Structure 1
Amino acid sequence: MCVEPAPPPPGRLTRRGVLAASAALAGTATALASGTATAAGPARRPARTGDLVVEGGTLLDPATGDVTEDAIVVIRDGVVRAAGPRDRVDIPADAHRLDAHGRWVLPGLIDAHIHLNTAAEARDAVRQGATSARSGSTNFYQDIAVRELARQAPRHAPRLKAAGVFVTPDLGDTVLADPDLTPLVRLKDGVRSAEALRRVVSVNLARGVDVVKTRVNERAGLADQDPLTQVYSHAQLSEVVAAARRGGKGVLCHSYSEKGCHDAVTAGIRSLEHGVFVGERTLHEMRRRGTYFTPTLTAIAGLAETSDPVLAERGRTFLPVLERAVLAAHELGVPLAAGTDSSGGSIDPIGREVELMRAAGLPALDAIRTATTGAARLLGLDGTAGRLARGHAGDVLLLSGDPLADVSVLKSPLRVVRSGVAL
């Protein structure tokens, strides 16, 4: 059965309604609301950014690898105005200062694959060092509301690239996320036809997503599914990519099998997620195309720690395979991005993903780059996130030790600064 073409409701009304509903589901409504709402949506507050000087720490620039002792970082209105050695940076006389002596100073980290469904999860992500992130999808557009929360009250959420709802064969209750999705429930085979695939993408685009999320394989985290089973063909993936590109958006793709990975990459996705069994042929194609690899080592390692024997064995089997794939990708020059795939109310520190990148064989600086400069490029945030340089966001981590010697210090930042506000 095909889906009858139908235009979405008028943009202003739709965006207002969806934002209000997703905000309520995400628990962000109180933070979003202030004053009187208008026809264009909830009333907006100016973002609460800060003025701060981070003084005396050892500053690492992930882009260059340069280390500056007794460094000064000056943040005004949430943006870095100067960063460097003390004798080259003017400190404003009235500045509020954060003492970083004896600490290492890094930019806030980036989680390139995370599921933020609530305001509590968003706050937890920031406090664990992820000051920027990319959504791996939510069931009811909660990430749209979390993105808005981050804009209005940065200390409560990472700056976020939202993916909206998953383009997947079985939407389940997600058909209730938007009235324009409900006709899909009548499809016997689910979201598989070109028309159905285009509809889910178009609804996402109408709701203002930044990226589109789809899949090529079943899930590894469900014992009754086989993650090597392919659910979309190359032609179907190409439909998703083409529909997303018409809206100016890239696609991230959940994947496991080598054939699935290759189909996804050659269909034109922007980033390959998980990708446990990605092979050399596909990695060479990724390098040629500039396709990113977000392996979510944290999630795969977590399977081995579950009580379910099927999932535990899957995790033990998959992790060394994925580690080899990550190292091969790095050695070939495939761009890597760190992502925890956190979901279900439990947020893993993005520093854990960096630690696992290091364990897979990446040099410490390159592992750090997967959660800073590399991830920033994937998210289109180079120039905003990933460094503490003039014009970049005033997002700072204070660490207890040298991350180049021991990347595990990234898992437990001593202090987080978000847009110039120390948490």
Structure 2
Amino acid sequence: MCEQHAAAPPPASLTRRGVLATAVALAGAGAGADRAVAGGPATSGVRETPGGTLVVENGTLLDPLTGRVIEDAVVVIVRGRVEAAGSRADTAAARRAAEAAEVVDADGGWVLPGLVESHIHLNTLAEARDALSYGATTARSGSTNFYQDIGVRALARAVPGRAPTLRAAGLFVTPDLGDGILADPELAPLARERNGVRSADALRHLVRTNVARGADVIKTRVNERAGLPEQDPTVQVYSREQLATVVAEAGRHGKQVLCHSYAEQGIHDAVVAGVRSIEHGVYVGERTLVEMKRRGTYFTPTLAAMAGMAESSDPVLAERGRTYLPVVRRAVRAAKELGVPVAAGTDSSGGTVKPIGREVELLRAAGLPALDAIRSATTVGARLLGLEREAGRLLRGFRGDVVVVDGSPLDDVTVLKKPRVVVKSGVRYAD
């Protein structure tokens, strides 16, 4: 999948600092950058605003890591961070200290940490809003057209409750950048590459440009796209050596790599090259899953994207979706049996955001136990993003991200598709 849709490029005169500042200004944030992105890797660009103070009570609390369930639980969030979570007795002192806080009555619903969406394309404010409304309080970008994900990340830091906390990927490291080459003047020299972004120097240059823009992760590919009927997703576009060049350059800047892939040989090459996670991975084989287990490589199968493709009006795409979905379901089961961590990601793009709960539903239907399917969108996703001390659980010091759903997700994971309440950094989401 990972089909990027056309979007207008930013003005040619826009500076790197301006990318962040303009995105926040357009969002109504009004926050200034505290450092320029140009001149070296940046991880912030915008001062993080403290979140809200809020109490969630009268619900059943689930800790995805342990599976522990606490009835009549309370979650106390102070300035965007969890102060206490547990029984009324265990949280009484924190609850009294936050007496003036807004109170959210879970009204007998189930209370979980905000969900983690490990593969999404957030190109617009509307997409960021929709992802958050579905309970995705933390996400990883699967790349954007013109560094919009950098702006979304800044928005989440400046205005809690407006967007998910985001690990941004910037531009896709792909042979044909298309109009994406206009996203940064530094990329113009790549137009001289006769075969596209394939040489070691070109690959390094694109990775470095992403890093200079402030990318948290690097997104590349090994196969063509499945979401374009004229392309064959089993065709390999980068060799193992080229992928290793991308991984090595990203590693020099402390960045990990996620890789779009479909065919077994390409997937194997990507894993051996050292990518952090395999995206889609329809035809992943046992030898590669064994290697993924050995290396700690994650698998993000994006079942929601496959299911959506099966419903396409284009006959080529519909046939692909119908063919791929049962194959990747088997791959999920094999990954589970071998101990490969499976993360939830919808691969949403093009203005339509799928609920992250839909991916959890499909992972459950593929054969994951309910708790493991929930973990794919909480603790496993948080580890993949390097945020296991921030997200995926409701413990003291963790980010105050909460979803409240009507019913037990252990009995029926589909309740995660329509959260009744979403709290981001202690701020209740309201459309």
Please give the TM-score of this superposition, normalised by the length of structure 2: 0.91
- After TM superposition, give the deviation of residue 200 of structure 1 in Å: 0.4
User: Corresponding residue for 1:62?
Assistant: 64
Provide the C-alpha distance between the structure 1 equivalents of 2:160 and 2:335, rounded to a whole number of angstroms: 34
Contact 1:33 1:43 survives alignment (8 Å) = no
Provide the C-alpha distance between the structure 1 equivalents of 2:48 and 2:179, rounded to a whole number of angstroms: 35
Note the alpha carbon deviations across 1:251-288, whole angstroms, 9 max, x for none. 00000000000000000000000000000000000000
User: Corresponding residue for 1:52?
Assistant: 54
- After TM superposition, give the deviation of residue 44 of structure 1 in Å: 5.5
Residue type matched to 1:31 in 2? Answer: G
- Which of 126, 129, 135 is 1:123 aligned to? 129
- Which of 357, 361, 367 is 1:355 aligned to? 361
Contact 1:253 1:264 survives alignment (8 Å) = yes
User: Corresponding residue for 1:11?
Assistant: none
Residue type matched to 1:29 in 2? Answer: L
Contact 2:16 2:36 survives alignment (8 Å) = no
Provide the C-alpha distance between the structure 1 equivalents of 2:102 and 2:185, rounded to a whole number of angstroms: 49
Aligned residues: 407
SS of the aligned residue for 1:156 comes to coil
User: Corresponding residue for 1:18?
Assistant: 16
Provide the C-alpha distance between the structure 2 equivalents of 1:289 and 1:101, rounded to a whole number of angstroms: 44
Contact 1:59 1:68 survives alignment (8 Å) = yes
User: Corresponding residue for 1:162?
Assistant: 168
1:213 pairs with 2:219: yes
Structure 1 residues 22 and 223: alpha-carbon distance in aligned structure 2, compared to 1, 3 A threshold: farther
Residue type matched to 2:124 in 1? Answer: T
User: Corresponding residue for 2:350?
Assistant: 344
- After TM superposition, give the deviation of residue 21 of structure 1 in Å: 3.5
SS of the aligned residue for 1:253 comes to strand
User: Corresponding residue for 1:174?
Assistant: 180
- Which of 24, 28, 32 is 1:31 aligned to? 28
Provide the C-alpha distance between the structure 1 equivalents of 2:90 and 2:253, rounded to a whole number of angstroms: 45
* Structure 2 unmatched runs, 5+: 1-11, 38-43
Residue type matched to 2:75 in 1? Answer: V
Contact 2:24 2:158 survives alignment (8 Å) = no
Residue type matched to 2:412 in 1? Answer: D
Structure 1 residues 256 and 98: alpha-carbon distance in aligned structure 2, compared to 1, 3 A threshold: same
- Which of 310, 313, 318 is 1:312 aligned to? 318
Query: What pairs with 1:79-228 in structure 2 (closer than 5 Å)?
Result: 79-90=81-92, 91-92=95-96, 93-228=99-234
Provide the C-alpha distance between the structure 1 equivalents of 2:192 and 2:428, rounded to a whole number of angstroms: 50
- After TM superposition, give the deviation of residue 185 of structure 1 in Å: 1.1
Please give the TM-score of this superposition, normalised by the length of structure 1: 0.93
- After TM superposition, give the deviation of residue 188 of structure 1 in Å: 1.3
User: Corresponding residue for 2:422?
Assistant: 416
Provide the C-alpha distance between the structure 2 equivalents of 1:417 and 1:196, rounded to a whole number of angstroms: 42
* Structure 1 unmatched runs, 5+: 1-13
- After TM superposition, give the deviation of residue 31 of structure 1 in Å: 2.6
Query: What pairs with 1:362-381 in structure 2 (closer than 5 Å)?
Result: 362-381=368-387
1:298 pairs with 2:299: no
Structure 1 residues 37 and 401: alpha-carbon distance in aligned structure 2, compared to 1, 3 A threshold: closer
- Which of 59, 63, 77 is 1:75 aligned to? 77
Provide the C-alpha distance between the structure 2 equivalents of 1:138 and 1:363, rounded to a whole number of angstroms: 33
Identity %: 65
- After TM superposition, give the deviation of residue 101 of structure 1 in Å: 2.5
